[in-house]
Amino acid sequence: MIIGLFKELVGWFVSLTEVAAFLAAILLIGLVAGTTGFWMLSRCARKLSGPPAEFDPNQDEPEDQP
């Protein structure tokens, strides 16, 4: 009887470990897919936005007015 309870307890822990490993794998796949998607989205948005804007150092200076 004690051995049967021990086997059942070990089986329960094995099942719990399998479920935890399965959930961790699903979350890892989701993380990789999401990271890849956002990386591709940022690359596409960067290409669609055109060349980077050039900084004009004279733009921030106030104009002299009488």
Q: What DSSP letter does each residue of 3-65 carry, written as one string?
A: HHHHHHHHHHHHHHHHHHHHHHHHHHHHHHHHHHHHHHHHHHHHHHT-SPPPP-TTSSSPPP-
> In this structure, what DSSP letter does residue 2 have?
H
Tell me the CA distances in angstroms from 53 to 4, 22, 50, 56, one per residue in order: 73, 47, 9, 9
User: Residue 1's pLDDT band (boundaries 50, 70, 90)?
Assistant: confident
pTM for the model? 0.60
Average the pLDDT over 28-50 and give the result.
94
47-54 contacts at long range (C-beta below 8 A, 24 or more positions apart): none
